Structure 1
């Protein structure tokens, strides 16, 4: 089981590593579901941690319908991830009617190479996340999809998550999120059958004194 801890500072990242996280997702502004992190924090995390660091590329809070200018900002975030030595990037793009923005997703997934891509919880805005899996598994370099099955929690979304894993056919990893904590991570792993899980408290409380 891979436990990915979602953090927004270097101190949180180091504490997550010390508590047993296998991987980090580094963001800023988690109150708004995560934005592109500060470059200096990213460089420090990538150089000083012993576990892989995935980097959020998201230029603003709100919806996941991105303009041409915002796509360029996401490219810049990907450039920074490469420069810092990150293990991969995380982004998600939808159309105005909450379908996968296939054209721009393909463009950015190609641009991100050789860094692998996680398509984030934007997929949970879709009416049918399984449809999202069907599309994303055809896009080269999309290696993971972060999802709580379209629900607020992984426990609520467990049936959809299982269906998403089946739809993925082993071609893409469903990285399960949604109030996954140190107390329920084993249960959620067992009921969904996933191999990778993600959470703010997946290895416990990461509260640090600022």
Structure 2
């Protein structure tokens, strides 16, 4: 089994997915509407990408910008989306919600997890906006399927969050720190040596895979540059 670091790339459509796969991505995060920082894609988009590539897909569960789940109707609507995606064959997800006090919204998260039936999932960068990272990790530690935290260590990005990322990496295996740290959010190639030296082995890129910005597609050569840096 390979010990190489995991490289996850954001894909909006089939073109992105195929290019990311060609460049050496290990996994894709599927979203739509990056103007809202990534929302749930349609079933049709998921199905088309699933047919086009053979690597794992993590599907975003989020219907509006921000980290609030919304009212009961909004959570029910998102649960219905999760159910539909599961019926389409989705088996990995990305989600995460905070309450107004910056604590994890466990009621919303657990309602969605009831639809996922043990699927593996990532708690996304809501952790970078929470009131207490350690308390959040402990609150989520026993939830079924949670295997990854997508984090920059800070709401401002990896450069500012580096000390937090290194401190959390040093606690790997402790209660609340068993899920994999996947670093993303302002991540650059220059950050990689210190992160790799700390034992961090999962990385997430979006804009870094797109030389022409979010208005252009993923570049296989840009992804390949990251893959080689992580080899």
- Whether the TM-score (by the shorter chain) exceeds 0.5 is yes
Match of 2:66 among 39, 54, 62: 62
Structure 1 segments (4+ residues) deviating >6 Å: none
Greater alpha carbon shift after TM alignment, 160-169 vs 131-140: 160-169
User: Offset at 1:176?
Assistant: 1.2
Q: Distance in 2 between matches of 1:48 and 1:115?
A: 22
- 2:205 is aligned with 1:199: yes
User: Offset at 1:86?
Assistant: 2.3
Q: Is the 8 A contact 2:172 2:178 kept in 1?
A: no
RCO greater where, 1 or 2, for CA within 8 Å and sep 6 or more?
2
Greater alpha carbon shift after TM alignment, 125-134 vs 200-209: 200-209
Q: What aligned pairs does 1:68-87 form with structure 2 within 5 A after superposition?
A: 68-87=72-91
Q: What aligned pairs does 1:21-40 form with structure 2 within 5 A after superposition?
A: 21-40=25-44
Q: Is the 8 A contact 1:134 1:168 kept in 2?
A: no
Q: 1:201 to 1:142 in 2, by over 3 A?
A: same
User: Offset at 1:186?
Assistant: 3.1
Q: 1:39 to 1:60 in 2, by over 3 A?
A: same
Q: Distance in 2 between matches of 1:83 and 1:188?
A: 41
Structure with higher Rg: it is 2
| Partner residue in 1 for 2:217 | 208
Aligned residues between the structures? 208
Unaligned runs of 5+ in 2: 219-231
Unaligned runs of 5+ in 1: none
